[in-house]
Copies of this chain bind each other. A is one copy, B any other.
Amino acid sequence: MQIPETLNRLVRLLGKLPGVGEKTATRFAFFLLDEPLEFSQDLARVLLALKENVRLCSRCFNLTESERCRICDDLRRQNGTICVVETIPDLVAIERTGEFSGTYHVLHGAISPLSGIGPNDIKVRELLERLKSETVQELILATNINVDGEATALYLKKLLTSIDVPVTRIASGVPLGGDLEHIDKGTLGRALANRRPL
């Protein structure tokens, strides 16, 4: 291919983005070439600032640009309720519901024996330390409803029996708009087992 080396290098780098192949990367590169110089400059500046400015909140391990994240700093949030999630995108998803006004604890992973990830590889110790120093009314385990997420929730539940804190788990069942006829049997079985009084 007779395209200039700089463009080639850009295509190779953009091709590493998740879900981006050579064709899409080439399209991005040509787009960047057509845009005014300022666009590439802005993008370059933000890329360099990203790693420098963004770090993890010292309390909940959410992303932040200062010592504590905006949620931990927000006086209107209930400090007594902690929602434990696996990743930042999970936190963002829960924030988007607008249904939660407590604080978070981001584990940055889930326990996964198959991938060799144990409790020491995620922010479990930090959670325990936090529970010692803070007054907590409820700990919501909002790890994923899959093998690793369930294992992590079970592990945390066992670990926390010694501490006098109510531990809850997010509900699992038929999703909104879910059609019983087409839902997988695992989910349906779970929905039946977890039925609640109306």
Contact = CB atoms under 8 A, between A and B. Distances in A.
A9 to B, nearest CB: 5
A101 to B, nearest CB: 12
Interface string A17-32: 1110000101111111
State the main secondary structure of chain A at its contact with B. helix
A9 B40 contact: no
A13 B27 contact: no
Contacts of A62: 2
Interface centre among A3, A10, A13, A95 (most CB of B within 10 A): A3
Interface in A6-56: 6-7, 9-10, 13-14, 16-19, 24, 26-33, 35, 37, 39-51, 53-54
Interface stretch (A63-71, A139-147, A161-169): A63-71
Contacts of A16: 35, 39
Contacts of A51: 33, 37, 40
B89 A6 contact: no
A88 interface: yes
A-B pairs with lowest CB-CB distance, top 9:
A44-B44, A40-B47, A44-B47, A6-B53, A4-B65, A10-B46, A37-B51, A2-B70, A13-B43
Interface of A: 1-7, 9-10, 13-14, 16-19, 24, 26-33, 35, 37, 39-51, 53-54, 62-65, 69-71, 88-89, 91-92, 95-96
Given A19-B24, A41-B48, 4 more contacts: A4-B54, A7-B54, A13-B43, A29-B50
